[in-house]
Chain A
Amino acid sequence: MLAYIIRRVLYAVPILIGVNLITFALFFVVNKPDDMARMQLGQKHVQQEDIDKWKQARGYDKPLFYNKEATEGHVFTDTVFFTKSVSLFMLDFGNADDGRNITRDISQRMWPSLAIAVPVFIVSLLLNITFALIIAFFRASYVDYMGVVICVILMSVSSLFYIIGGQFLISKLLHLVPISGYSADIDTATKFLILPIIIGIIGGIGAGTRWYRTIFLEEINKDYVRTARAKGLSERLVLFKHVLKNALVPILTGVVAVIPLLFMGSLILESFFGIPGLGSYTIDAIRSQDFAIVRAMVFLGSLLYIIGLILTDISYTIVDPRIRLGGRQ
């Protein structure tokens, strides 16, 4: 088992290197650091000195890939690519344009993001599975048909409208909770967090329920279910005991992959509700064109995604003993 995990982790390294290459190409090769500096400092009337100063402050003043002037042995290491890549892999993201340390910002802003993402994740998982089970129980009936149509209707509404509508109805008309804001104090934080959490759940119900419904229906058509029915088990027992248990394999593996990404927060929820999490951090960075932060978030997101992949593989082997640890032979 340990050997398997180590192999999976090693397999992730080339992927991270690939991600690093892509982001580097996007941020430094397509646009030279000079262009970025000019963009940041304003288009016209920029002196070359200002540009140099801007580049030096961010460590962009070296050659991109190959340093001719460096001493022996440092021709590749004394470059923007090498220094920036190494610091990314050490999770040292450097400073943002306003001089704040990105790594510290991320470790602080992680918690508000989790305060929304975790409750949304758990509650919607339970709700969606429950709804899907009910629909699957009444499959090929009027309930099933209506359930699917309602899911499709819920799916067709843009998430922006759930947020705008929710804020308007609950906060503006009914004055139940404040429109936006955040507080680190637990008692007052609930009042700020409850609406984004509810909207996050409602926004995902349509797609989620439909997804789990297909999983259940696929499972229901399998042979062992027919056997269970043939031996005289009630439909309820078949569904809740046999089908649910077996459907947990695809459900669990799908769920595990998402867990690490919860750290990234929700982009638009946080931005609309003014919650100082990583999602709004990213949006602010995109809007102010802060390349350092966007690059850091891209790398962080990929890292978490790959961790999710590894966790998925491991959880597969745990819940389904038929899957061999060795992978492909």
Chain B
Amino acid sequence: MSTLKPNLFLFGIILILVVLVSTVEETWQIKFVPLWTDILIYVLMVAVLLFGIQARHKEHLRAPWRHVVQRPLAMSALVVLAFYVVVGLMDSIHFRQMLEKQPGQTETQYSGEVVSLFDVLVTPIRVQHEKSYSAPFAAFLYSKETIETAEGQVRDYPRLLYGGRHLKNPAEDRIPNLVMGIFLSFVFTVLIFLVVSAALILLVARRHKASFADTMTAISTGNTRIPFRAMLMTFGVICFFVVVGIMLADKYHLLGTDKVGNDVLYLSLKSIRTGLVIGTLTTLIMLPFAILLGIMAGHYRGWIDDVIQYIYTTLNSIPGVLLIAAAILSLQVYMAINPQMFDTVTERADLRLLFLCLILGITSWTGLCRLLRAETFKISQLDYIDAATAFGTGHFKTMIRHILPNVMHIVLIAVVLDFSGLVLAEAVLSYVGVGVDPTTISWGNMINSARMEMAREPVVWWSLTAAFLFMFTLVLAANLFSDAVRDAFDPRITRSK
């Protein structure tokens, strides 16, 4: 009976998913195209959720998290991270839209272009291409062109196709129109902020059985255990940017356009998914190896330890960038020789992204493996392991049940600390030419294609600035959050209480 239950449960979930997918496909006339990275991202999401639900009931796991949630900086960083994750998750549902049926056509046909849910939400900035460079909020192109007018040919800055299209006389109307738009966005932000704050205060008040007024004072003076005030402030700032985007992004190019006229805001937002995939999936791929080999080396010792040490010393001795370069070069040759393996460009780019995660994982698991080996060494000398052995517990069970839970804090710290480094590594690798596929939108590719723009006269600064700001925000938030996690989970760090 007990083995039947989870099977039934799993079966039920799969059934519900299948029904859901087919209903959604029917209603919106789309066809889902699950990419490998999409699937893995959602598997990771589910795993994190399950882990969270389990950890709720275990005091020794809750205690360190309680330290994390009390730090204002870490929690503000978490709000920022949440924004990035939401964008990344929306960008990880891919599908093909149904084409309009021609008269007399019976078969349904789907567009060859794979788009994501996020793409559909931001359709205006995805499809509004200009001819070339245009500055943020501009209504004219950045360089002069020959324009045909009634009086003949003039050399002037041509109007943009989309940016400021609604303005009759851009030279005069643009600034008042922008000020009005931003002011309205501010008003809306304040409204949303008030509603969200009120909802939060209500929730907290009900939970602590306190009055609304008392809770409001506590939050606004920063006297709550969880730093709600800092979190709300961060939320407000993000909210303002999002509202400005919603209000103005279809009328202006908020961050300008790049050389071929793509909206820079769109590129920056699409890069979020690439960054998140590299930061998380790399760790996901390397974790099983690092954990298994590290614990085995520390537990069995002897020749198994020697072999595992040999493997990671060898892999570690190859400079990371070069190993990645060698692997990616080989992959490029392989893909060039076998083009029939990939249906769409998106799928090929996605497979290369996954392969990049894999190879990055191979170069980065050794550090964690060494740490786990050392810690297992220490733990397996403790009495309770001897006791387990005396009771006849097998090696495998000892490792899974008795050693693994006691080294999990090292794994968690490694995972959160690695994330930001991997996001930064993507940019460098793409610059070198061994990063993500050139067709994949990523901060590295943005920087790579814009690196000569600072040398232009006049300077085109917005692509690089946008890539910098989006990347810096994500990496800084990840660093601040991972610092807090490390402080809370690392027993070597003595906390001043």
Chain A residues within CB distance 8 Å of chain B: 14-15, 18-19, 22-23, 26-27, 30-31, 35-36, 38-39, 43, 140, 148-149, 152-153, 155-161, 164, 167-168, 172, 179, 218, 221, 261, 264, 267-268, 271, 282-283, 286-287, 289, 291, 294-295, 297-298, 301-302, 305-306, 309
Contact A160 B447 (CB under 8 A): yes
Closest 7 CB pairs of A and B: A18-B314, A301-B319, A156-B476, A156-B475, A302-B317, A305-B317, A31-B333
The interface residues of chain A lying within 8 Å CB-to-CB of B424 are 158-159
Q: A153-B476, A172-B454, A306-B317 are in contact. Are A297 and B471 (CB under 8 A)?
A: no
B464 at the interface (CB under 8 A from A): yes
The interface residues of chain A lying within 8 Å CB-to-CB of B97 are none
Contact of A19 among B73, B317, B455 (CB under 8 A): B317
CA separation between A295 and B496, bound complex, in Å? 51
Contact B317 A291 (CB under 8 A): no
B43 at the interface (CB under 8 A from A): no
Contact B326 A156 (CB under 8 A): no
Contact of A15 among B314, B459, B496 (CB under 8 A): B314
A171 and chain B: residue at smallest CB distance: B455
The interface residues of chain B lying within 8 Å CB-to-CB of A39 are 332-333, 336-337
B306 and chain A: residue at smallest CB distance: A328
Interface residues in B, total, Cβ within 8 A: 48
CA separation between A286 and B327, bound complex, in Å? 11
Interface pick from B205-213, B254-262, B343-351, B430-438: B430-438
CA separation between A172 and B313, bound complex, in Å? 44
B468 at the interface (CB under 8 A from A): yes
B318 at the interface (CB under 8 A from A): yes
Q: A15-B317, A158-B427 are in contact. Are A286 and B325 (CB under 8 A)?
A: yes
Q: How many A-B residue pairs have CB under 8 A?
A: 139
**Nearest Cβ on chain B to A248's Cβ, whole angstroms:** 20
Contact B319 A261 (CB under 8 A): yes
For window 309-349 of B, CB contacts with A under 8 Å fall at: 310-311, 313-319, 321-323, 325-327, 329-330, 332-334, 336-337
CA separation between A294 and B321, bound complex, in Å? 11
Contact A286 B432 (CB under 8 A): yes
25 contacts between A and B (CB under 8 A): A22-B318, A26-B330, A43-B336, A148-B483, A152-B476, A152-B479, A152-B480, A152-B483, A153-B476, A155-B475, A155-B479, A158-B424, A158-B471, A161-B472, A164-B454, A164-B464, A172-B455, A267-B321, A286-B329, A286-B433, A291-B329, A298-B319, A301-B322, A302-B319, A305-B316
Contact of B454 among A23, A155, A168, A261 (CB under 8 A): A168
**Nearest Cβ on chain B to A319's Cβ, whole angstroms:** 21
**Nearest Cβ on chain B to A165's Cβ, whole angstroms:** 8
**Nearest Cβ on chain B to A152's Cβ, whole angstroms:** 5
Contact A295 B326 (CB under 8 A): yes
